[in-house]
A = this chain, B = another copy of it.
């Protein structure tokens, strides 16, 4: 099974109601690189900047998008173990988030799963406003796991 661009886009933007409700958008999706965005409108807090929970979500979801474009989705799946997120500036515009990973990095993580049964990896993320200011910096510890052997 190979996922098409449209399938990946749908999985990123409408995987479940929580994400749909905040209007998350896939701006760019390709192997080794993803860029997602969230609108300020509808995600404001009581003082009109983007709420921390929306920023967290925009920081967390790119890992799932990167998984879909870059890892072997037939053999592995990821979970999020920890997130550390620093709110540096009020987010007063629409916000974007990018993630990069080389093919070599992805292959090394998958190889570790094959050998060890699982592999932890850390992703650094930065969220930017439309001026390019880093409003949020964070990092997530994810774990890649093998798909269950359904054929048993």
Interface residues of A (CB under 8 A from B): 15-19, 21-22, 42-46, 51-54, 56-57, 60-61, 79-87
Known contacts A83-B84, A86-B81; A57/B46 CB under 8 A? no
Binding site secondary structure of chain A: mixed
Query: Of B17, B51, B52, B84, which contacts A42 at CB under 8 A?
Result: B17
Contacts of A83 in B (CB 8 A): 52, 56, 83-85
A54 to B80, CA, bound (A): 14
Query: Of B53, B61, B84, B87, which contacts A57 at CB under 8 A?
Result: B53
Docked-complex contact B18 and A43, CB < 8 angstroms: yes
A42 to B16, CA, bound (A): 9
13 A-B residue pairings within 8 Å (CB atoms): A16-B44, A18-B44, A19-B51, A21-B21, A52-B57, A52-B83, A53-B56, A56-B56, A79-B87, A81-B86, A83-B83, A83-B84, A84-B85
Contacts of A57 in B (CB 8 A): 52-53, 56
